[in-house]
Structure 1
Amino acid sequence: MTESCPGGAEGVAGGKSRFDDIYDRPDPRAYFRRLAPLEYEIPHHAQPIFRQVAADRAALADGHRGRPAMLDVCCSYGINAALVNHDVTLAEMYERYTAPGRRTMPTAELAAQDKEFYAERRRPDAVPVFGLDVAAPAVRYACEVGLLDAGFTDDLEQGPPGAGLSGALAEVGLITLTGGGSYVTARTFTALLGGVRRPVWVSAFVLRTVSYHPIVRALAAHGLSTTVDVTRTYPQRLFTDEREQRYAIEAVRALGGDPAGCEEDGRFHSLHYESRPDTG
């Protein structure tokens, strides 16, 4: 759950505001403080879907030993991992990290509390989760508190996976994405799928301002068929200002969508795409 791929200073990407600076902090407090007023909510909508998809993928016999891992692309501080594997809600995470009592707490103390907090709430059906994000401090924190089983900072828009990620890809059976569709392209997915060894499913929430078709074509080239329910959208967050809203409305219309009731009402909206091996 992130908008941090790739890294850089806060600014505008194609008319969309960016918040890259909040991913370069040693812990997630700035992330939640910044996004709380914008009501960033897509991980909440993804939580039950990712849990179900992860369970379904784990139940699939694929001839490999061990449970298939979930790889969360643009994972930031491990929010999706927290929501999939722990009895916690996004609202509780906002409350936790914006609480006045934790505002001045040293990162080391927060991390120690978080490690205990999530361990106590670990679900019995938890799946291994790897994280991929160019924001090293965010990935480091998610690993330190036990949300990620492994984290990687490879920039696959610029080059191939390193040795660590390449080794981890052999265990991956599910790739997830929320929010990063504005920043990662087919290059990232081509690099990932070129290194997997197990049958891989992809579950992605992508803003309606972005065309997912190049990634769909890349997935198809690796034998994956993609479906999307265009009758249902998922609110992502409020717009930062009127400029961003104008950009979103124009971008949705340019892609053949209708912003009425969605972007025109003041929020980014996403579509949910599911990609699985083509059995036809």
Structure 2
Amino acid sequence: MSPFAKHAHATHTKLCQHPLPHDYFGSLAPLRYRTPDFSRDLLTAMVAELRHRRGRSRLKVVDLACGYGVNSALLKHGVDFAGFARLYRRPADPEGAVARDRAHFAARPVDQELTVVGVDTSTAATGYGLATGLLDAVVSTDLEHGEPTEADRAALADADLVLATGGVATLARVLALQTTPPAVLGWPLYGQCTEELVDCLTAHRLTVSSPDTTPRHQRHFATPHEREAYHYSLRRQRLEVAGSAAERSLCVTPLLAMPHA
């Protein structure tokens, strides 16, 4: 994992240590965090394609580093990041907020044919996801450094789609549990070396592509130091900075892996 990937993972972990997403949205919303939003069309198209390929509507999605379940809110309820963040503009007591959010999501149209399994070591965040109905099951084992339990194996098996945020070791352990290769969608940071990730995906009988190689805004820089360090890392790799989204933002480029036809 590159230094910036490690930095992003550490930031995610730090923001997901509370039973409610106040700190998560309070920190990321002002930075215009947008990865779930610009991935909406790609995610929707992938779900439709997988349903066509599998010949069934019911699919299992495994979301690595799922946090509070933002991707599930998008997939199952059509709630974007900004809409989710609006729920947390003012403080609420934990029990009241969870009940409110559970009712909020239950009142929205829901894709009943999607099962979302969240993988995250933050039990506070995944506990929220389970309590509000965003996540159908969770795996809290640190799969980057340890093997899955029998319960984990059962929860992760038979995945149709894996959302790959986090380390390659976690992804490799999840893919090794599958009988039929799932599709994988990831958002590597622009400038991150993806050779190890691509090797992992191809080793599990997946065809890898980059639907859009243009650096896409993930979020604004949190500090001037972060901006300077990111630009330095890009210039060392002779990647474009001036005039690109990376001049103003931490960026990602989607990476898609599909089972061999």
Q: Is the structural similarity TM-score above 0.5?
A: yes
CA contact (8 A) 1:54 1:127 kept: no
Find the aligned partners of 1:135 and 1:15 in 2 and give their Cα distance: 17
- Seen in structure 2, the aligned counterparts of structure 1 residues 264 and 79 have a Cα distance that, compared at 3 Å, is closer
Sequence identity percentage: 26
Kindly indicate whether residue 188 of structure 2 is the aligned counterpart of residue 206 of structure 1: yes
**Structure 1 position 95, deviation (Å):** 1.5
Q: 1:166 aligns with which of 134, 147, 153?
A: 153
Secondary structure (helix, strand or coil) at the match of 1:69 reads strand
Amino acid in structure 1 at the alignment position of 2:65: C
Deviates more, 1:225-234 or 1:152-161: 225-234
Query: 1:176: which partner in 2?
Result: 163
Find the aligned partners of 2:219 and 2:62 in 1 and give their Cα distance: 24
Find the aligned partners of 1:193 and 1:13 in 2 and give their Cα distance: 21
Amino acid in structure 2 at the alignment position of 1:172: A
Q: Which runs of 5+ in 1 are unaligned?
A: 6-11
Query: 1:21: which partner in 2?
Result: 14
**Structure 1 position 107, deviation (Å):** 0.7
Query: 1:35: which partner in 2?
Result: 28
**Structure 1 position 263, deviation (Å):** 5.3
Amino acid in structure 1 at the alignment position of 2:185: S
Provide the TM-score with structure 1 as the length reference. Answer: 0.84
- Seen in structure 2, the aligned counterparts of structure 1 residues 124 and 77 have a Cα distance that, compared at 3 Å, is closer
Q: 1:119 aligns with which of 97, 103, 106?
A: 106
Kindly indicate whether residue 75 of structure 2 is the aligned counterpart of residue 84 of structure 1: yes
Q: Which runs of 5+ in 2 are unaligned?
A: none
Query: 1:60: which partner in 2?
Result: 53
Structure 1 stretches of 4+ moved >4 Å: 12-17
- Seen in structure 2, the aligned counterparts of structure 1 residues 126 and 267 have a Cα distance that, compared at 3 Å, is farther
- Seen in structure 2, the aligned counterparts of structure 1 residues 255 and 155 have a Cα distance that, compared at 3 Å, is farther
Deviations 1:240-259 (A, max 9, x none): 11211111112223344212
Query: 1:140: which partner in 2?
Result: 127
**Structure 1 position 265, deviation (Å):** 2.8
Find the aligned partners of 1:252 and 1:263 in 2 and give their Cα distance: 12
Amino acid in structure 1 at the alignment position of 2:260: D
For these two proteins, the number of residue pairs brought into alignment is: 258
Alignment RMSD:
2.3
Amino acid in structure 2 at the alignment position of 1:37: P
Query: 2:84: which partner in 1?
Result: 93
**Structure 1 position 60, deviation (Å):** 1.7
Amino acid in structure 1 at the alignment position of 2:31: L
Larger helix fraction of residues: 2
Query: 1:9: which partner in 2?
Result: none
